Structure 1
């Protein structure tokens, strides 16, 4: 990643904040820190970041609630949540709120680095001043690739954070089957439970896209290979 990649660490534990800041600076990042949600908001009001690393458990407003609020305010910066609890419910809550990934404490700093680089690779590094609108047509439904927005005619179609993430993956490779395993990984961790969760998300997406979700025309099942988006 470029030497001007700017990260924000939000964690109430001063020791962890300091360790992560030192480690990430050594690995070539610019790093700012905030000790709680209120300070993070002040920093975010004045600076743009490439990625936010945020602890879930903080006094006052927690990381999931701050993530949800930032997404509601249309902040597109990737967010990696640090959680001390490995329960699926917390992970799913964080992803539903709009986080891009999560890491369960305690973790090796090297794993944090791998996750950060993986997320930054998924995000286009160059932000063109006026992007060419990329729109995928699925019958009466339009999906705007740049904004991650879906429309049916003039009505917006609301997508959950996970549905939006899956749509981004499909729309990046239309007509290419994508395995459940990879979709589960993109949606936050490849295990059997997560693969079942992907099937549920696909069913929900089909209800939003297809005229007849039982025999899908656009979001197809490819036997033995996974799922595929087949636009018009």
Structure 2
């Protein structure tokens, strides 16, 4: 059985802290609380968390500063939701720029917070993509940026390597052409199509009838390994 997600709640308001601990525990989460950033930092240094919920407006060090510290420390990849009494665009933008995954203004409904927590945890706990992808005798290793056929290394341009890396990370799933353009140096959807055509010539047994880099009509492309 999978262990429950461990959530850190940091808020100087005793009532909110207690409410969140009781509500999230009833939802099946393991919950640890801290009343200020200093206590939270000590906990973050000694425990691992799957999600941190930080109040922005706290006396002393605020939630944005704590978040910035997390993004530079060993829990830099821990998802963070910010809570604040100020629902201003500038606050939201500052939080997201600092690395927050979500933002919820006070007052809030506990049910909405729980739903947002579940969504963040689903996104962060996706299976790790395979280290290597095999395609008709070829092996692509994204970590090394290598496409090989046995001992022979097949040369990829930077654009081809970027495209193949993005597709391999979501092997079996369709990837939107717009996302491919944004995540690679292609820049435009039309350029993505050109790179796909070139990449197929290096990967597909028959580039005119591709079996590995498949076109998903109306969406984009999908990499199908062996």
Deviations 1:122-173 (A, max 9, x none): 1126679xx7277397942666x9xxxx9xxxxxxxxxxxxxxxx89xx648
**Corresponding residue for residue 217 of structure 1:** 191
Given the alignment of the two structures, is residue 47 of structure 1 paired with residue 38 of structure 2, yes or no?
no
In 2 relative to 1, CA 2–84 (structure 1 residues): closer, same or farther, beyond 3 Å? farther
**1:1-232 residue pairs with structure 2 within 5 A?**
2=2, 4-73=4-73, 75-124=76-125, 132=131, 135=142, 139-140=157-158, 172=170, 176-177=175-176, 209-210=185-186, 213=187, 217-218=191-192
SS of 2:22's partner is helix
Deviation string 1:34-70 (CA, Å, 9 cap, x unpaired) is: 1111111100111001111111111111111211221
TM-score by length of 2: 0.63
Q: Distance in 2 between matches of 1:107 and 1:10?
A: 16
Task: Give TM-score scaled by structure 1 length.
Answer: 0.61
Measure, in 1, the Cα distance between the counterparts of 2:60 and 2:193.
42
Task: Compare CA radii of gyration and give the structure with the larger one.
Answer: 2
C-alpha separation in 2, matches of 1:105 and 1:10: 14
Distance in 2, matches of 1:215 and 1:25, equals: 46
The RMSD of aligned alpha carbons is: 4.0
Change (3 A) 1:19 1:72: same
Alpha-carbon displacement from aligned partner over 1:94-115 (angstroms, at most 9, x marks no partner) = 1111111111111100000000
> SS where residue 100 of structure 2 aligns?
coil
Q: CA deviation at 1:72?
A: 2.1
Partner of 1:159: none
In 2, Cα distance between equivalents of 1:48 and 1:62: 21
Q: Does the 8 Å CA contact 2:9/2:17 hold for their aligned counterparts?
A: yes
User: CA 1:27/1:178 → structure 2, altered by over 3 Å: closer, same or farther?
Assistant: farther
